Amino acid sequence: MPDDNLEFSDPEDILSTSLQTLYDYAPITHSSGGDSFTYKNTFATSQSTLDLLRTNFGSQDGGPHILELGAAAGLPGIVIAQAYPSLRVTVSDYPDEDLISALSDNVTANDVANRCCVVPYAWGSDCSVFGPEASFDLILACDTLWNPDLHTLFIKTLCDLLTRSDDARIHLVAGLHTGRFTLQSFMLTAQAAGLKILIAVEKEVVGKTQREWSAEREDSEQERRRWVVWMILSWSCESIEKNEIA
């Protein structure tokens, strides 16, 4: 007799989760069909952020104020809030009722609502929704660069919300499915706005290999799916100096 407690997966779910094993085809999205999903794997990009926090702020009380933009399910922000209870974390996404409701539910379900705030926010709009001191020491965002029409608003948001200090940082992760020239266009626009690209590297989605970022590298769609681009940005020296003079 079949075990009543045995969980059966939809055949399409089994296939979709096996694409990388069977065909070396890296998926760029995950869907659980409305069911709860338990995150178990820590990819290199996630671990790099946690290592950074541990090195720079692990022994400090309070620590930096962290913002995740375009949070969707809020995974990075929630993981950080769980790993470092003393940090102040804000997760934000477009002010759509269903989207923000799902994000809030995820924060509550993971028992971090007392230290992880959910704020609906449209890029480029009034930053006062974040409170009287709308300034963040570390800003995170994943897969937010695929639409070049939104780059200007996104960069304005980064500049409006990043603390004006030498050690304030922006960490961005973008899949290469976004397109190399789209990513290069973003970097150039960000630099023109007063930000500095400290690091831009390509990291394997599964694995530990990394290589220097290149806008000219030619690769197939299947190959691009195997990599993400990790960027770390700061204020340029000129931007800091202008702020001090002002």
Contact present, 104 and 74 (Cβ < 8 Å): no
Contact present, 197 and 191 (Cβ < 8 Å): yes
| 8-state DSSP, 218 | -
Confidence of residue 207 (pLDDT cuts 50, 70, 90): confident
Give the model confidence (pLDDT) of 3-47 as tens digits: 444 444 555 554 445 445 444 545 545 444 555 555 455 544 455
Compute φ and ψ for 3, nearest 5 degrees. Answer: -75, 120
pLDDT of residue 133: 76
**How many Å separate Cα 242 from the centre of its chain?**
29
First-to-last alpha carbon distance for the chain, in angstroms, is 77
CB pairs under 8 A, 24+ apart, for 146-151? 146/174, 146/175, 146/177, 146/178, 146/179, 146/182, 148/182, 148/185, 148/186, 150/123, 151/185, 151/186, 151/189
Q: Is the pLDDT of residue 61 over 80?
A: no
Contacts of 95 (CB under 8 A, 6+ apart): 120, 121, 122
Q: What are the chain's domains?
A: 40-245 (3.40.50.150)
Q: Give mean pLDDT, residues 86-107.
A: 96
Structure tokens at 172: 């961005």
